Structure 1
Amino acid sequence: MNYADIQKSVLEELDFLNFRKELGNKYGLQADYWKAPIDVEVVKSMLKEMGYTAKYTKTENFFSIKEKYGDIEFTFQTTLKGGCVEIGWYTLFEGKKVNYSGAWTRIAMEFLGEHIPLPIPMFKNYEELKEILSVILNKYGVYKAKFMAAAAKMNQ
């Protein structure tokens, strides 16, 4: 077993594809979605309340949370544009991406072997954005814990 196998196993255990689909269906296309510019400080504060310190990269318009545990690094990224919540999860071992890393759309495509459009979560206000991010970050926390536990077991 290698890190890519662990990652795939954990994503399957978390039922990632259905989680992604259900989140998109619940918060998908809304007539009254957010259209104003995002207040970066409000979002950073929101993430801080959830226990994460995020950096904002203005040139690429995304928030990023990086955590390193020995040779394993996890990165959570989100782009909030036009009311859409686009997510990327990256897992690196010794600086190299593990297979199922990247935008959720890409991860889903890797699993399915083909591109099937999945609805993207959208928000209409900061309260709904916080709710969406909370659900995603909770799942992300479980993903990291399960990945680290399986990696530790593999390395024994």
Structure 2
Amino acid sequence: MKKIIYALILALVVVSGLVFANCEIKNETTKKLLSADEKKTELKKWEATPDGIKVKKWKMSPKGKKVLIDAAKISKHITAFTDLEAVITCLSLPPGSLLGYGVMARINGEDYILTFEPEESQLKQLNSLKVNDKIILKSQSVSYAPKYSYPIVSVDYVQRGSKVIYKRAPRKGGC
């Protein structure tokens, strides 16, 4: 009797594994990569939407141009993943911000929003930052949004003095 039950359970596990694997394969094949021409077409469609028009107007405004210029100033360091010296100017983000945990910092004379994805163990060290602290940071991305008057730097690494106080954890389950 036990052998029959074990055989049925094993068969159930194998069949459910195959069904689950088949679902994943179907999901992967439905995702289609767009060619360069298709990407351009989709971008043109989006630019014609109210949100696209709003972003275009923002990019042409003095505020938008300043943010884009400031983002370009550090792009060399971002692409090379090299050290950037920063001074903490504010321990909170602008009012109404939806960026999660972050601070304001001055890099090369310009203000930036620094955002983090800290684990609980890193919060204590990040909370120890004070205004006018000098830090060294590394990042692989800088972005911007019409809602904010500053470029947004997603921080991967922070060092204060000779001590590392933050290092982004690798993403789980993917690239």
Q: Structure 2 length as normaliser, TM-score?
A: 0.22
Relative contact order: is structure 1 or structure 2 higher (C-alpha 8 Å, sep ≥ 6)? 1
Provide TM-score, normalisation by structure 1.
0.23
Decide which structure has the larger Cα Rg and report it: 2
